[in-house]
Amino acid sequence: MKMIERRIFRLQDKIERLREEATLVAAELDRHRLIDEDAQRDAAFGNYIDAEEAQLTSADVQRFDRSLRTINDRITRLDQQRSKLIERLDP
Which CATH number covers residue 8? 1.10.287
State the CB neighbour count (10 A cutoff) for residue 88.
11
Q: Using one digit for the tens of pLDDT, what is the confidence trace for 1-13?
A: 689 999 999 999 9
Q: What predicted TM-score, i.e. pTM, was given to this entire model?
A: 0.86
What are 73-76's contacts with CB under 8 Å, separation 24+? 74/18, 75/15, 75/18, 75/19, 75/22
List pLDDT tens digits, range 29-55: 999 999 999 999 999 888 888 889 999
**Alpha helices (runs of H) in the chain, residue ranges in sequence order:** 3-45, 48-89
pLDDT tens readout for residues 58-75: 999 999 999 999 999 999
- How many domains, the chain? 1
Q: Which domain holds residue 49?
A: 3-89
pLDDT of residue 1: 65
Question: In this structure, which amino acid lies at residue 44?
Answer: A
